[in-house]
Amino acid sequence: MADVREREGKGGERTGAVAGRKRMLTGDRPTGRLHLGHWVGSIQNRVRLQRELDCYFIIADLHTLTTKPEKDHIARIPDMIREMVLDYLALGIDPDAATIFVQSAVPQTAELNLIFEMLVTLPRLERLPTIKDMAQAADLEVLPFGLVGYPVLQAADILLPRAHLVPVGRDNLSHVEITREIARRFNHLYGEVFPEPDPLLSAEAVLPGIDGMSKMSKSLGNAILLSDDENTVTQQVMRMYTDPKRVRADIPGTVEGNPVFTYHDLFNPDTAEVDDLKDRYRRGAVGDVEVKRKLAKALNAFLEPIRERRAVFAARDGVVDEILHAGNEAVRLIAADTMQRVHEAMGLTYYRS
């Protein structure tokens, strides 16, 4: 595996950067195996962009501590990281084209987070609706300090590699704006060090779960995992929510907003078949079982090469550790350079020799 991270960047910085390309940072909390919603919502966009931009994919393990600080949860994180990286590789993320790294493996993150905490007020953070939503989802009655400061740690993640672009959905634009405000505040006080990163809006809709009630989520039990075997995928599809008014196959049904047809549109390449199913569904000339069986066939055809690639990578001892070691080393080099610039800009250079 060629190590692109050994190229020389600006200022002698040793990184995987290609001159003239903008940097993009995005990532995930380590929650283990990914599902179809991850592919639709973000991963396919990363695969597309990894050769157009200098991409950094962070596995944000420290962020999990804001809602799950228990030691038994921390003990499970390495396994969840491994499963997630195997899915990345199976889906086409190329570690020779992008840098995959673990947040806690870059110690400069904590120092930059501390500095940024001095540049933002508590009322500004409390105005973010996403923080209260996260607390509610985690059944927290009282907001931990770390959860209130979650956007500040995100800002450190983004600005430590001096990223220019952050893929984000419209519901999280406010987090990128916090990062932009912190960058502006730092640059105003101390001099230009950080770019003001721009949000890169995702064009993809949120994939509904098989229950049709909310977005796909493992915690809600409404997900189809990218690594699920053929039988499991078929079983999940046959459980899928459809038009509740159709108690018989001869009753005309609604296609719009019907999760089964949402999935057909996204994953069934046979558009003629999909159009025929929609027409017959509207006329009450096809049953839900046939529509679901054809969806299961299309989904398994989509997932089979992913499952095969995953098995190949999983059989290679140490491949995940090798990729993460290289990515962690690359980002630590960039982080050291960034923090040197921060220290010099702030005047925090005394007693450092």
Contact 338, 161 (CB under 8 A): yes
Contact 121, 16 (CB under 8 A): no
The domain segmentation of the chain, as residue ranges, is 4-207+317-346, 230-309
Class of domain 230-309: mainly alpha
Question: Helix (H, G, I), strand (E, B), or coil: what is residue 211?
Answer: coil
What would the CATH number be for the domain defined by 4-207+317-346?
3.40.50.620
pLDDT at 279: 96
Residue 88 amino acid letter: Y
Instruction: Name the β-bridge partners of 173.
Output: none
What does the pLDDT look like over 205-223, one tens digit per residue? 678 999 988 889 888 889 9
pLDDT at 138: 66
Contact 295, 287 (CB under 8 A): no
Instruction: Give residues with Cβ within 8 angstroms of 267, minimum separation 6.
Output: 36, 295, 298, 299, 302
Low-confidence ranges of the chain (pLDDT < 50): 1-16
CA distance 55 to 47: 10
Question: Helix (H, G, I), strand (E, B), or coil: what is residue 296?
Answer: helix
DSSP letters of 118-169? TTS-HHHHHT-HHHHHHHHHTT-SS--HHHHTHHHHHHHHHHTTT-SEEEE-
What does the pLDDT look like over 221-280, one tens digit per residue? 899 999 999 999 999 999 999 998 888 899 999 999 999 999 999 999 999 999 999 999
Instruction: Give residues with Cβ within 8 angstroms of 24, minimum separation 6.
Output: 49, 53, 54, 55, 56, 163, 164, 165, 166, 167, 200
Contact 299, 233 (CB under 8 A): yes
CA distance 157 to 56: 10
pLDDT at 173: 84
Contact 93, 306 (CB under 8 A): no
